Amino acid sequence: MAQVEKSNHNSDQREAGRLQVLDVIRAAGTIARIDIAKETGFSPATVTVITSQLLESGLIEEITPEPAADAKPSTRRGRPRVSLRLRGAAHLIAGIKVAHNSVSVLILDFEGSEVVSHDMPMPEPRMATPYFCETLKRAVSQACAKGGFALSGLSGIGVAMAGLVDAKRNFVYWSSSLTDRNVNLGAHLDRVLPCPVFIDNDANLVAKAEHLFGEGRKVDDFIVVTIEHGVGMGIVIGGEIYRGERGCGAEFGHTKVHLDGALCQCGQRGCLEAYVGNYALLREANIMDREMPLADIGMLFKRAEAGDAMARSIFERAGRMFAMGLANIINIFDPKLIVLAGEQLSFDYLYADAVLEAMHQSSIQVDAPLPEVRVHAWGDQMWAKGAAAYAIERVSALTVREVPVDA
């Protein structure tokens, strides 16, 4: 038994070492072995062994930098310095963002370069699990066809969706996209898709995208707040996504701001989302003006800009509620940075000067600057990129397990 445990421990160490080397190469783009040793703390001999295994398995490749046009001939003898990079052709990975009205698919190669993107309308905002799975399959299949390759050519798929998601189990407790609760969605998707599927809350994957590609680059402790149909939050601590024990952490939209208040789409009352989410603002507007119902938040915002008192009052209350929520984030987490993300931030009512001032007034006052608040308004393809990046990480972990020890 002790021998088996020792063998498993050694195997875990080898996998962790390979993943660490892959992460360093991915972060650097191209890097020499000696620099990998410096970054990881591994000995040059260990780096040589690991990179030989990764080269043999096709996950990385060697490149010899071209000399500059004005470079003088080198007097040094021996082989030129060789760098390593990820081999983009090793895997194709898809990321999916499930929005209220659309499905966005982004396919990346193993290096993280975009191969093809595709958007497809959602047949219905909410649907039963089997229909939902077939819808995702259709969207990914269309993206693959657009890129000129088969669905079977994918090595993994990441899915970003709103709701309470246990990413470790690919289990969805509740989502605004599903009519069912407590769904083992990973098992359902495995039946219709030919490769591993990795599911997470969409705000977590926005945080992943911001950390790798956006406002959170080179910042290891920050919070992302997403405002779209609903309200989400992704927390990055020490460079890692915080998800909570059950996968239900960071549900900012479902923090309570009003006892027995407005009805939220989660079924409870008084949630922040029920005062700030798009559906909540439209619900209030259409209750107050039944003769001219509004179909989207842009129409309501135009009314407010034109001086409509009802529309302005709705946005002003949303701003006050949102300021209270942001102050609570600061008081609990004291993050270095807060990123407000999502396409709907093209409307400024949630980060107007009055909102930020109210946030400041409700935050704990000490003789130090409050966290910086940055706005990053972008569309569903960025969410899909976070899902794809998450899937690349998971596929990398699965792949290194299969690398032979003596490769």
- What tokens appear for 293 in the block? 């119902």
DSSP state of 153: G
What pLDDT, on a 0 to 100 scale, did the predictor assign at position 74?
55
pTM: 0.81
Contact 252, 231 (CB under 8 A): yes
* Enclosing H/E stretch for 61: strand 60-63
What pLDDT, on a 0 to 100 scale, did the predictor assign at position 4?
44
Give the DSSP per-residue string, 272-310: THHHHSHHHHHHHHHHH-TTS--SSHHHHHHHHHTT-HH
Beta-bridge partners for 198:
158
What pLDDT, on a 0 to 100 scale, did the predictor assign at position 344?
59
Contact 237, 244 (CB under 8 A): no
What pLDDT, on a 0 to 100 scale, did the predictor assign at position 118?
96
How many whole angstroms separate alpha carbon 349 and alpha carbon 375? 12
**Cα torsion angle, 36, 42, 43, 47, sign:** negative
Q: Where are the beta strands (DSSP E) in 100-150?
A: 102-109, 114-121
b/e sequence 153-167, b meaning 16+ C-beta within 10 Å: ebbbbbbbbbbbbbb
What pLDDT, on a 0 to 100 scale, did the predictor assign at position 220?
87
Contact 92, 107 (CB under 8 A): yes
**Residue 141, Cβ density class (10 Å: 0-12 exposed, 13-18 middle, ≥19 buried):** middle
Mention every residue, 6+ apart, whose C-beta is less than 8 A from residue 7.
none
- Give me the tens of pLDDT residue by residue for the chain, a chain 407 residues long: 544 444 455 677 888 899 999 989 988 889 999 999 999 999 999 999 999 999 999 999 999 866 555 555 555 555 567 899 999 999 999 999 998 889 999 999 999 899 999 999 999 999 999 999 999 999 999 999 999 999 999 999 999 998 889 999 999 999 989 999 999 999 999 999 999 999 999 889 989 888 888 888 888 899 999 887 788 899 999 888 998 887 777 788 888 888 888 898 888 999 999 998 888 888 988 887 777 778 788 888 888 888 989 889 988 998 899 999 999 999 999 999 999 887 656 667 777 888 888 898 989 888 888 888 988 877 667 789 899 999 999 999 999 888 776 54
What pLDDT, on a 0 to 100 scale, did the predictor assign at position 68?
53
What pLDDT, on a 0 to 100 scale, did the predictor assign at position 189?
97
Phi, psi of 265 (to 5 degrees): -70, -15
